[in-house]
Structures are given as C-alpha cells and as structure tokens.
Amino acid sequence: MQIYTQRLDEKAIESSNDALAGTISLTFDTRQKCRFRATLDNGQDIGVDLPRTGVLRGGAYIGTTTGEVLQIQAAPEKLLCVTANQPFDLLKAAYHLGNRHVPLMLTPAALYLEPDYVLADMVRGLGLTVEEVMHPFEPESGAYAQHQHDNRLRPYVPH
C-alpha cells in the first residue's frame, strides 16, 4: 500500500517529473483528517499520513517519498443549500449560522452547510429557502487561517 506523506505545492507539481498517480474524491470530513485510509477508483488501497497543517482543499496535491502524486477532489456530499430572494436575507442567514460556529460554504447566490434539521428550521424561519443537494463542500477556513478559497468549484443553482 502506498503511503502519501507530503502536501505538495501546485507550482512544484507543474515543474516536476513526478507521475500523477490519479485523483481521489474525498468528503470534507475525510479531508480534515491528517491520517486515513482510502481506496482509489481503480481499487488500489492507499494510506495518508500528513503533517497537521490544515484541511485538504479540492485541487490539492499529496505525494509519496518515491515521487507518486495524487490530486485531491472535493466529493459531492449531501448538503443544505440556502437561497434567498434578497441578498440581505442571505447575509442575515450567514450571520446567524456563523454565530453558531457552523462550517459554511459561501457563494454569491447561496450558502451551503452540512445537514441539520434544527438549523434548517431556523433559516426557514428567517424566510429563506432550504433545499437538500449533492454538492462538493469547501467551507470557509476562518479569518485567522491561511485563506485559500478555491473558486474553481461552481455553485449549485437551484431551478
């Protein structure tokens, strides 16, 4: 089993001869962990043992000491999508959810959070729409973290 132990910089990947072993889609919960086992799409089992330096974001690269490289993708997962008719209402919902320290993904048109019926009811009570969707989850890292928000993920736009 290959063990991936290094976080790799995207610029270093472009200029290196390391072989891209593939990609793996992981949920936010798994991408928060520094040690875990996973199975690639081809059935190969891998291990990950990274330094504790933060969340793996979609598009990040990890590597082995022998030069194999794996790209991390944010897997679609069950989330709540909060939308509003007025931008201020969405801002108000973000305030109330943030006041409860809820991991929250912000987009111009919607807020995304992990399923929680109590929070869903609270947001509906503020007059917003809550819909369950499958979507990659990339919540904000916080004001004091090294902030690298990946805008390559397209927000879900409800019909």
Give yes or no for residue 158 having a pLDDT over 70.
Answer: no
Mean pLDDT calculated for residue range 125-148: 85
Burial class (CB within 10 angstroms; exposed 0-12, middle 13-18, buried 19+) of 68: middle
Here the tokens at position 61 are: 């690269």
Here the tokens at position 73 are: 């993708």
Annotated domain spans of the chain: 2-74, 76-136
- Please report, as a single letter, which amino acid is at residue 155: P
Give yes or no for residue 18 having a pLDDT over 80.
Answer: no
Architecture of the domain defined by 2-74: Sandwich (2.60)
Residues 6+ apart with CB under 8 A from 150: 57, 58, 59, 138
State the chain's mean pLDDT as an integer: 87
Query: What is the reported pTM?
Result: 0.81
Predicted pLDDT of residue 107: 95
Here the tokens at position 41 are: 């799409």
Class of 76-136 in CATH: alpha beta
Predicted pLDDT of residue 52: 87
Name the pLDDT band for 154 (thresholds 50, 70, 90). Answer: very low
Mean pLDDT calculated for residue range 11-17: 69
> Regarding predicted confidence, which is higher, 11 or 136?
136
